[in-house]
């Protein structure tokens, strides 16, 4: 599974979960820590308070440990309404282009897929 964090200029972090890994609160918190480092490296001029996260009601997003971590970092969370028929806005720009790029390609390994997604 690929998790993408991006802003208007480009992707800040593209994280690939290992095959068969369950995405739980601990795994999501580790990804958030990688995101924090990526923002500090790629956008050092951005204050931490300007980073907004769009969350739905998935358990890794709403777990107490995750919420506590984001509160300690003073992050603002934009909630996506539960059971909303609308997709998150990023789905309309990112995924159709990625699907178009990957269409009709065959891959021999997970690493090959990762390379193409990063491309």
Q: Domain spans of the chain?
A: 2-86
Q: What is the CATH number of domain 2-86?
A: 3.30.420.10
Q: How many CB atoms within 10 Å of residue 28?
A: 21
pLDDT: which is higher, 90 or 119: 119
pLDDT digits (tens, 9 = 90+) for 50-83: 778 888 778 898 899 999 999 998 888 887 766 6
* pLDDT given for residue 87 in this prediction: 56
* pLDDT given for residue 76 in this prediction: 83
pLDDT digits (tens, 9 = 90+) for 24-41: 999 999 999 999 999 888
Sign, Cα dihedral of 111, 98, 15, 26: negative
Return d(Cα 75, Cα 51) in angstroms, integer: 6
- On whether the pTM is more than 0.85, the answer is no
User: Strand 11-16 relative to strand 52-55: parallel, antiparallel, unpaired?
Assistant: unpaired
pLDDT digits (tens, 9 = 90+) for 1-20: 888 888 777 788 889 988 88
């Amino acid at each position: 599974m690929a998790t993408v964090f991006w802003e208007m200029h480009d992707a800040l972090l593209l994280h690939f979960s290992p095959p068969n890994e369950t995405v739980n609160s601990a795994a999501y918190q580790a990804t958030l820590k990688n995101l924090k480092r990526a923002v500090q490296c790629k956008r050092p001029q951005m204050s931490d308070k300007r980073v907004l996260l769009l969350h739905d009601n998935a358990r890794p997003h709403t777990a107490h440990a995750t919420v506590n971590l984001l509160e300690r970092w003073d992050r603002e969370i934009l909630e996506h309404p539960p059971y909303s028929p609308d997709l998150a806005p990023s789905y309309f720009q990112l995924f159709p282009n990625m699907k178009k790029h990957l269409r009709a390609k065959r891959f021999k390994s997970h690493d090959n897929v990762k390379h193409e997604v990063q491309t």
